[in-house]
Homo-oligomer: A and B are copies of this chain.
Amino acid sequence: MPGVPPARYAYLGPEGTFTEAALRQVPAADRGEHVPCASVDAALEAVRAGEVDAAMVPIENSVEGGVSATLDALAAGDPLMVVREVLVPVTFVLAARPGTRLDDVAVVSSHPHAQAQCRHWLSAALPKARYVPAVSTAAAAAALTGTATEGSPDAALCAPIAAQRYRLDVLAEAVEDNTGAVTRFVLVGRPAPPPPPTGADKTTLVVHLPEDHAGALLELLEQFAAHGVNLTRIESRPVGSTLGQYSFSIDCEGHIGDERVAEALMGLHRVTPHVRFVGSYPRADGVQPQVSRATTDAAFTEARAWLDRLRDGRL
């Protein structure tokens, strides 16, 4: 985010979720005001309406949903721009009221997806515990701040940030069955010049296919391949209710300021009915693309100079 940091940030709430953890990873946002929203749509609409300066929403592999909603909200309506991506490890803690011991836990609450991801740990560590579903992992944690009643949950499977926020004791860490997973979040603002290239950037696009035939997707991808631009994500999305029409949500390596990306984008703009640029921004993992000698900025500049010589007759 260039310039003065925005003061207000929406995010997919409630408080204490992985999305809030993502927002707190961005230094400027960590100092700003935070507005939890009930849905991705609501968070992005708040940006469009100018009520907030940016919104943090999940875009890939989320525990608590939101991904399709994010892709669809970025693909339609007034343009928005991704300015940053954030990776958050998908790790759960078992949190309980202060003073609770693991042996005391008889009822565990959490969002069903979180429970599913910790099933093996639960059956090994708490074989007799009963499970009570909650609307979100954060809601399960928040509920522990109220008065305990007969049969109400003793502990919650939640994000580390939720245990912190609600001052709960962490009885066990990293209780997820598969470690190493991450959820990818994006910070979304209103249209503006993209942040400058860093050498390790991503560009997000939505492209509508020209027609539904066996080679249409291939033609689209040839624009990337012909210019040496690697894709890191592609997802087809049905367009409207028309059967057989598709758009593609695409992440590619590189920045709109890179020649090879610019050429691929211009190629797409020429050959497909609609291309929406959703942003160029630094990769959270800092991985630099392998750019072949044929597709460096220098190669494009040199080719242009060569062409200009030919047009002048200097063979």
Chain B CB within 8 A of A95 CB: no
Copy tally for this chain in the complex stands at 4
Chain B residue with Cβ nearest A311:
B256
- By the criterion CB–CB under 8 Å, are A193 and B225 in contact? no
Most B C-beta atoms less than 10 A away, residue of A79, A231, A265: A231
Known: A214-B224, A315-B79. Is A65-B113 also a contact (CB below 8 A)? yes
Partner of A42, one of B116, B257, B271, B304: B116
Known: A133-B139, A287-B244. Is A266-B311 also a contact (CB below 8 A)? no
- By the criterion CB–CB under 8 Å, are A306 and B266 in contact? yes
- By the criterion CB–CB under 8 Å, are B218 and A222 in contact? yes
Partner of A222, one of B62, B225, B312: B225
Partner of A315, one of B81, B229, B292: B81
A241 to B294 Cα, complex, angstroms: 27
Residues of B within 8 A of A295 (CB): 270
- By the criterion CB–CB under 8 Å, are B224 and A226 in contact? no
Q: How many whole Å from A158's CB to the nearest CB in chain B?
A: 15
**1/0 per residue A221-262: CB within 8 Å of B?**
111111011111111101011011010100000001100001
Chain B CB within 8 A of A49 CB: no
Residues of B within 8 A of A257 (CB): 311
Residues of B within 8 A of A224 (CB): 214, 218
Most B C-beta atoms less than 10 A away, residue of A233, A295, A310: A310
- By the criterion CB–CB under 8 Å, are A310 and B112 in contact? no
Chain A interface mostly helix, strand, loop or mixed?
mixed
Residues of B within 8 A of A116 (CB): 38-42, 69
Chain B CB within 8 A of A99 CB: no
Known: A38-B116, A221-B218, A234-B217. Is A241-B315 also a contact (CB below 8 A)? no
- By the criterion CB–CB under 8 Å, are B313 and A299 in contact? no
Residues of B within 8 A of A222 (CB): 218, 222, 225-226
Q: How many whole Å from A183's CB to the nearest CB in chain B?
A: 10
5 A-B pairs with the lowest CB-CB distances in the bound complex, closest first: A39-B116, A180-B241, A266-B303, A79-B315, A193-B313
18 contacts between A and B (CB under 8 A): A40-B116, A81-B313, A181-B241, A193-B311, A214-B229, A217-B221, A218-B221, A222-B225, A226-B226, A256-B307, A256-B310, A266-B300, A266-B303, A266-B304, A267-B303, A269-B302, A269-B307, A277-B315
Interface residues of A (CB under 8 A from B): 38-42, 61-62, 65, 67-69, 79, 81, 111-113, 115-116, 119, 131, 133-136, 139, 180-181, 191-194, 212-215, 217-218, 221-226, 228-236, 238, 240-241, 243-244, 246, 248, 256-257, 262, 265-267, 269-271, 276-277, 285, 287, 290, 292, 294-295, 299-300, 302-304, 306-307, 310-315
